[in-house]
Amino acid sequence: MTSGEMTRADEISAMVGEVFTTADYYEVGREKVREFARALHDDNPFHWDEEKSRAGGHDALLAPLTMVAIMGTKSQAQLLEDHIPGNLLKSGVLQVDQSFTFHKPIKAGDKLYCDVNLETYRTVAGADLFTVKTLVREVNRGVLQESWTSLAGPGEDAGRLPDDFDEIVDQVIFSGADSHVDPLVPSSRAEIPVREDRPWTTIPFDELSEGMSLPTRQQRFTRGDVINYIGVSGDPNPIHHSDAVAKAAGLDTVVAQAMLTLGTASGYLTSFVGDPAAFLDMSARFTSPVYIPADAPAVVEYTAKVKSLNPENKTAMITFGASLNGKRVFGRCTATVQFS
């Protein structure tokens, strides 16, 4: 390399903070809200019953907290494939963390744009560690939520994959992924709003106590669940449905989507809280994959407890976790909720 020539890491780092946005909006359909809630095993009535949602102060069905996965994942992939150099999405990328800040709820009828940018990037022992920010804004209501997806990739050394890995993937991956894709366009950072200060339809704050546990929930995940989530969310990654690709990537077998297990966790929490709009933020670290056998379900156990209370503003921090066969699926996970 000659003096002054940029390295791969330099070229990637130079793009940190450059914001791009979707060229057209995504309109949230009422039945899509229900379809996504069904995929997450989320029975919260605010996703299903318009009368109950109106009684809770909303003029339409509310989307599950993680519904940004539908448009956000596609926008992130476009950013990393078309605008960020270095092929950060080369095979072997794993999702490490996911966090959200909720400003206003997403609801049926919203027309959403996604702003995406590479928020951070560094290399550790040759591996790529990077975070992509996705900001969701509605054409009339402004910014609704922000999310940060942290990923780890093999960097310039992907030699652990078999030489025919790309060919294996090509035989099973969805063949229409490149059809009718609008390009991202350059944009600027949106102004973050002041959150609405209003009571939500939750359980009363006075019924909470520090250290109280939420009822444990066991959720079965089958191959049918992960395949259904592929169709609902549009996630094309074949490690979620092909044993051949999963094993070629170094996995034991097909794995559940991280956002499926986290989305189900969010439904577990909102079933206790009541109103999904009361959530201020949520974050999770993914520590081990959820392997899905071909002929039996994987049973994930969700637990949570009230970690701390703030009587002054009636907020609570809830810590939650998930385990499979006694092994932790999530690391430290928290959600901050505004109670009534």
pTM over 0.75: yes
| Interatomic CA distance for residues 115 and 147, integer angstroms | 10
Beta bridge partners of 33: none
What is the CB neighbour count within 10 angstroms for residue 131? Answer: 18
Strands 20-21 and 111-124: antiparallel
Question: Above 60 in pLDDT, residue 159?
Answer: no
Maximum alpha-carbon separation in the chain: 67
Structure tokens at 69: 């996965």
Answer whether 18's CB lies under 8 Å from 118's CB. Answer: yes
Beta bridge partners of 102: 145
pLDDT band at residue 177 under the 50/70/90 scheme: low
Give the model's pLDDT for residue 169.
Answer: 78
Give the residue extent of every domain in the chain. Answer: 8-338
| Interatomic CA distance for residues 323 and 224, integer angstroms | 20
Strands 142-153 and 94-102: antiparallel
Residues found in the chain: 340
Strands 111-124 and 26-27: antiparallel
| Interatomic CA distance for residues 63 and 113, integer angstroms | 15
Structure tokens at 137: 């804004």
What is the CB neighbour count within 10 angstroms for residue 311? Answer: 10
Q: Which 8-state DSSP code applies to residue 81? A: I
What rounded mean pLDDT belongs to the chain? 93
Q: Report pLDDT digits (tens) over 259-295.
A: 999 999 999 999 999 999 999 999 999 999 999 999 9
Answer whether 204's CB lies under 8 Å from 278's CB. Answer: no
Give the model's pLDDT for residue 162.
Answer: 77
Radius of gyration in angstroms for the set of CA atoms belonging to the chain, rounded to a whole number: 20
Can you name the CATH fold of 8-338?
A: Thiol Ester Dehydrase; Chain A (3.10.129)
Answer whether 283's CB lies under 8 Å from 100's CB. Answer: yes
Structure tokens at 47: 């996703």
| Interatomic CA distance for residues 120 and 150, integer angstroms | 9
pLDDT band at residue 195 under the 50/70/90 scheme: confident
Give the model's pLDDT for residue 173.
Answer: 78
